[in-house]
Structure 1
């Protein structure tokens, strides 16, 4: 789009263009409604998202909590974000929001999807 004049002419700060336009998303291309995640970005949140609906057991430690120093959660992966995962226990309907910083490790009862299937493999 166009450039707005500034005290430095058509440039913002010396040597840096000042341009206005629509904000660009900070994500990769979208395939089948999912953002493509490059194979080298196998972050826990991405692995959990790729395995929504699968049963998981999550082992946590909770520093400075004498009541729950270590806790195990079991449930279906509903969703995951950068700092948390949401599990739901299908037997009780209870939902858990677990902070990623507290997760030591997790297990699944079935094979995992580790990378998005963007190429139809």
Structure 2
């Protein structure tokens, strides 16, 4: 059986940016020590503290963060739910994370914490802010 270089433990020691099974990253045939807690390994092998992570403007949560405060309609699907399979939420976009969105209903003050895994799509009644630096290395930012 041939060793797949793109699987963890393969010829490259794992996926780029993720530690290999043996505890380190392998780039260009050299094994480096595993990153210390609180460090991030870039695809080029450079070590940066997690307080300096790359901005990936294309991720949904980052697009939503650019549009905080705007009114949104979120279409969600809940599989295997006997009461309701799909639900629509309307509210002001308060926050967005990797796995969640927080909206608030301005008429009732009710806040909703919604999981990204259930999100189908979002509509807005106004123009969105969107920035994506095509072909550029994303800058580092503190979080």
**What's the TM-score, normalizing by structure 1?**
0.67
Secondary structure at the aligned position of 2:65 is classed as helix
- Separation (CA, whole Å) in 1 of partners of 2:75 and 2:115: 11
Q: 1:8-87, aligned counterparts within 5 Å?
A: 16=32, 23=39, 24-25=49-50, 26-28=52-54, 37-38=55-56, 41-87=57-103
Q: Which of structure 1's runs of 4+ aligned residues deviate more than 2 A?
A: 13-20
Please tell me the root mean square deviation across aligned C-alpha atoms, in Å.
Answer: 2.7
Larger Rg: 1
Note the residue ranges of structure 2 that are not aligned, 5 or more in a row.
1-23, 25-29, 40-48, 133-143
Q: Aligned pair count?
A: 94
Cross-structure match for 1:101:
117
Note the residue ranges of structure 1 that are not aligned, 5 or more in a row.
1-12, 29-36, 117-121
- Separation (CA, whole Å) in 2 of partners of 1:45 and 1:65: 26
